[in-house]
Amino acid sequence: MLNQLKKNHFYLIETAKKLISQRFKENRHHFAAALKAKDGKIFTGLQLKTSIAGSEVCAEAVAIASAAEEGVTDIEALVLVNRIGDVISPCGKCRELFIDYCPKAEIIVPGPAGARIMTPAELLPSRSLKSNVKSAA
């Protein structure tokens, strides 16, 4: 497990904090994400909350889509913060998204002694294993 934050990780955290502090809007944007591509480009995203339960779009997905729009697919690191700027863990849907879109990225998550780094496979360990179970169809 990776654990130590580097200078670029702190920059990502500050970028996400700045975004949510500027754009927080009750019942619209409660979370912000920032990601760093291998080429050094930074992309951000805001959560898109809706009035329909379960249909919101996560900030991480918005950031990954922003990178994809520019043809950037090699993501180095990603962080998510809440409305007060705390680093928070991604939801299960986003953990699945990381496995598919940035499986080697360093995901910044909260830890007992502050923020730490995990890989998508560490965040969703069973997803990365091949199953030998045959379907019962």
Q: For residue 26, what pLDDT is reported? A: 87
Residue 61: its H or E element: helix 59-69
Q: Given pLDDT bands bounded at 50, 70 and 90, which one contains residue 135?
A: very low
* Residue 55 confidence (pLDDT): 82
Among residues 60, 76, 96, 106, which one is catalytic? 60
pLDDT tens figures, 33-89: 999 999 999 999 999 998 887 789 999 999 999 999 999 999 999 999 999 999 999
What domains are there in the chain, each with its CATH number?
A: 7-122 (3.40.140.10)
pLDDT of residue 128: 52
> CA angle 63-66-71, nearest 5°?
125
Residues 63 and 87: beta-carbon distance below 8 Å: no
The pLDDT score that the predictor gives to residue 3 is: 66
14 has catalytic annotation: no
Q: Any residues with CB less than 8 A from the CB of 18 and at least 6 apart, and which? A: none
What's the pLDDT at 137? 44
Per residue in 91-134, pLDDT (tens digit) is 999 999 999 999 999 999 999 988 999 999 999 887 655 544 44
Contacts 24+ apart (CB under 8 A), 17-23: 17/81, 17/85, 19/44, 19/46, 20/46, 20/81, 20/82, 20/83, 20/85, 21/85
Q: How far apart are CA 57 and CA 113, in angstroms?
A: 30
pTM exceeds cut of 0.85: yes
State the DSSP code for 48.
B
| Amino acid 136: pLDDT | 47
